[in-house]
Amino acid sequence: MKIVLIKIKFLSSLIAILLLIIGVTFTSVLIFDKNLFASPSQASGTTSLGFIGGVTGSKQNDLNALRTRANARANGISTGTIEGGWEGALIIQKRIPASIVAFQFRPSFFYQKEKGTGGTASIYEGSYEYGTNGYTIAGLVKLYPLENNFIRLFFQAGIVWGKLTTKIIESTFNIEAKGSNLGYVGGLGVEFCMLPHCIILEAGARVLFLERNIVSSSNGTPAADSITQYEKDQELEYDQKDLQTNMSGVQTFVGYTISF
């Protein structure tokens, strides 16, 4: 049920972003070219290289729950809740000549962290940090149903594999755990081009949950209301259940490519 609610929340945000992009695209095409469904322009080549980056709205509910408990236990900590992460990726794309179809390979790096201090003259005094970092490898099918020499609307979807490292520091206790899983990704965007150069505005959503994280290292002893299983090579748990993380969420990116 929790996964379903998360999907509904970020998909509702995604719909508003996608409708805005479609509106901007059609308005721009009407201004610059009355031929809405122009034939694909391949003058700049079918291979594209570039980079893209932005924000992925991955909220870490289990880590935030631990942070809330630490805040009460230490009588206040300055560490914030994790609401999203930064992401940057490389773009390697090949378009089928004289068609609307392209294939894209996209490796990316994902990062999010909240860090602070708390406690006063007690055993809970010290640093409090919650965060994740990792990478994904995605394969996408991309369609260009609407384009001219200045603007291109695209839709894309594909599968993604991700690996994530979770780090927790609570005063004298610290732990790292790793997990990986398959998911899927999709969305749409607009390319503004002065061939062979293009600026990309992209919105989408990724669904990638990591329900099991394996402890890679730990030091110290956690508080009674914190982590309950922390031995190396065991599943990371709190309240006698798996601590879950994710790389899911609405994505908004800006990027650049060059074609040749």
Residue reference for tokens 């009407």: 30
Burial class, 171, CB count within 10 angstroms (exposed 0-12 / middle 13-18 / buried 19+): buried
Domain span holding position 17:
2-259
CATH code at position 189: 2.40.160.20
Instruction: Give tens-digit pLDDT for 98-145.
Output: 899 999 999 999 999 999 998 876 778 999 999 999 999 999 999 999
pLDDT of residue 13: 55
Question: Of all helices (H) and strands (E), which one includes residue 181?
Answer: strand 173-194
Question: Cα–Cα distance between 222 and 149 in angstroms, integer?
Answer: 60
Q: Give the mean pLDDT of 236-251.
A: 96
Supply the pTM of this predicted model: 0.83
Q: Residue 159 corresponds to which tokens in the numbers above? A: 């599968």
> Is residue 107 within 8 Å of residue 90, measured between CB atoms?
yes
Burial class, 87, CB count within 10 angstroms (exposed 0-12 / middle 13-18 / buried 19+): buried
Structurally, the chain folds into a number of domains equal to 1
Mean pLDDT (the chain) is 87
Question: Cα–Cα distance between 14 and 148 in angstroms, integer?
Answer: 26
> Is residue 94 within 8 Å of residue 106, measured between CB atoms?
no
pLDDT of residue 6: 45
**44 or 199: whose pLDDT is higher?**
199
Question: Cα–Cα distance between 66 and 68 in angstroms, integer?
Answer: 5
pLDDT of residue 122: 73
DSSP track, 195-215? TTEEEEEEEEEEE-EE---EE
The CA distances from residue 195 to 36, 68, 140, 146, 148, in Å, are 19, 51, 23, 17, 11
> Is residue 132 within 8 Å of residue 60, measured between CB atoms?
yes
Instruction: Give tens-digit pLDDT for 55-90.
Output: 999 999 999 999 999 999 998 999 999 999 999 999
Burial 226-249 (b: 16+ CB within 10 A, else e): bbeebeeeebbbbeeebbbbbbbb
HEC assignment per residue over 112-164: EEEEEEECCCCCCCEEEEEEEEEEEEEEEEEEEEEECCCEEEEEEEEEEEEEE
HEC assignment per residue over 65-105: HHHHHHHHHCCCECCCCCCCEEEEEEEEEEECCCCCEEEEE
Classify residue 172 by its DSSP letter.
T
Q: Residue 112 corresponds to which tokens in the numbers above? A: 């999010």
